[in-house]
Structure 1
Amino acid sequence: MRGLFITFEGGEGAGKSTQARLLADHLRAHGHDVDLTREPGGTEAAEALRDFLLFGGHDLSARAEVLTHFAARADHVDRRILPALAQGRIVVCDRFADSTEAYQGYGVSHADTGLLDMIGQLRAMLPVQPDLTFVLQVPPDVARDRLRQRADGRADRYEAEDAAFHARVAAGFDAIARRDAARCHRIDASGDAGGVQQAIRAVLAPRLAGRGG
């Protein structure tokens, strides 16, 4: 049985990492073999590129930034995601190509058509696409409060962007969710983590039918 590829998307402070972890724990508790991973990252090389992109302090051109994200993604897909799916595992990934479209295509480049077309072409070259995507949505004030409460206090370059940038990112995710409505499920993530997780599980339940566990 081929595995199942689930991704979590959304802006800063939406709770993606928390919800991905909660879902992975839930699935494992019910007998499923789960690989919990993230982007950028997921492999040793991709994690090094993550650190460069988020904390390296280098100002790349928009195209170079997109290509670096896809370089990390290609290694992640080839070395981790595809092998896990081939083994019949459920892959739960915190961010994937939708984030590149929303952050670089809409946030960084202000919805520049040429860059969005480039991202679409690169995405089409990937040998795998998510089966199911949860787009977590929260109001800007909730996102800001959550970011302030993070313990480590180390803001990455995207978290440090201004409100206008984050509004463009949110508009990007909204456009993606409308375009790919069969794959993307919008989740109101402004409530408590447990309630959000229940909404996610309700969407996922029909996809798990016949997988055992």
Structure 2
Amino acid sequence: MSHFITFEGPEGSGKTTLIARIFEHLSKSHEVIMTREPGGIGISEMIREILLAKGNDMDERTEALLFAASRRQHLMEKVLPALEAGKIVLCDRFIDSSIAYQGYARHIGAEAVMSINRFAIEDHMPDLTIYLKLDPEIGLERISSNNREHNRLDAEEIDFHKNVVMGYNELSENFPERIKIVDASQSPDKVMEDAIEVINQYLNQEVNQS
């Protein structure tokens, strides 16, 4: 049975590390693929380079449209074929990122960004979203202290990152059935434990309903 599980959170929340660990864990008993946005396939990775390269300052609506274009191609080329094959798809970011980053932090508005993405994804929403909740100051401090390459969004002012978190918080309040919060300020092992618990509850619920 296929499942589309996405992971969201501000910069430095530990999504990439967590997804890799969950992929390894679930692969023992399920067919799983791991992917990311923007990116995941050739065209979308090229769009990612444009979006995240330092110095590529762009109009906020151009940014939102590029994210949506990358998302559409990634969905059609990688995500949907995997779901149709009955696999679990673990995706680092999806539509909630656009609403938080462009809708809230870029002040385009959640509904304007949602309308762009309705065209891009049609009705293909995640089944489950794990939101790694973290204060933006902690996330940026983590980024500055590790060897990860800093991108264009990392360099935004702190108010931008606070608005991203505000967007995610409102989304989690509006869609509590889909978006489950995990405290990302905890140790990596505790974050992993909590995320696996959320995923197992979801998978068990789906089995019982089928």
Give deviations 1:145-180, integer Å, cap 9, x for gaps: 21122214x210111111111001110101111111
Q: Could you tell me the TM-score, scaled by structure 2's length?
A: 0.92
Q: Residues of 2 paired with 1:63 and 1:10: CA distance?
A: 21
Note the residue ranges of structure 2 that are not aligned, 5 or more in a row: none
Q: What is the aligned partner in structure 1 of residue 25 from structure 2?
A: 26
Q: What is the aligned partner in structure 1 of residue 86 from structure 2?
A: 88
Structure 1 position 119, deviation (Å): 1.4
Q: What is the aligned partner in structure 1 of residue 125 from structure 2?
A: 129
Q: What is the aligned partner in structure 1 of residue 14 from structure 2?
A: 15
Q: What is the aligned partner in structure 1 of residue 61 from structure 2?
A: 63
Assess if the C-alpha contact under 8 Å between 2:137 and 2:158 holds in 1: no
Q: CA RMSD in A?
A: 1.5
Assess if the C-alpha contact under 8 Å between 2:10 and 2:136 holds in 1: no
Q: What is the aligned partner in structure 1 of residue 102 from structure 2?
A: 104
SS at match of 2:111: helix
Counterpart of 1:118 (choices 112, 115, 124) is 112
Runs (4 or more) in structure 1 with deviation over 4 Å come to none
Q: Residues of 2 paired with 1:157 and 1:83: CA distance?
A: 31
Q: 1:188 to 1:117 in 2, by over 3 A?
A: same
Counterpart of 2:157 (choices 150, 153, 162) is 162
Structure 1 position 55, deviation (Å): 0.5
Note the residue ranges of structure 1 that are not aligned, 5 or more in a row: none
SS at match of 1:71: helix
SS at match of 1:186: strand
Q: What is the aligned partner in structure 2 of residue 139 from structure 1?
A: 135
SS at match of 2:172: helix
Q: 1:141 to 1:65 in 2, by over 3 A?
A: closer
Give deviations 1:108-166, integer Å, cap 9, x for gaps: 22xx44xx3221113323141100001101223421321122214x2101111111110
Amino acid at match of 1:132: L
Identity %: 36
Q: What is the aligned partner in structure 2 of residue 40 from structure 1?
A: 38
SS at match of 1:47: helix
Give deviations 1:94-116, integer Å, cap 9, x for gaps: 0001001101111122xx44xx3
Give deviations 1:31-86, integer Å, cap 9, x for gaps: 21111000000110000000100006222211111110000000000000000000
Q: Residues of 1 paired with 2:137 and 2:42: CA distance?
A: 35
Q: Could you tell me the TM-score, scaled by structure 1's length?
A: 0.91
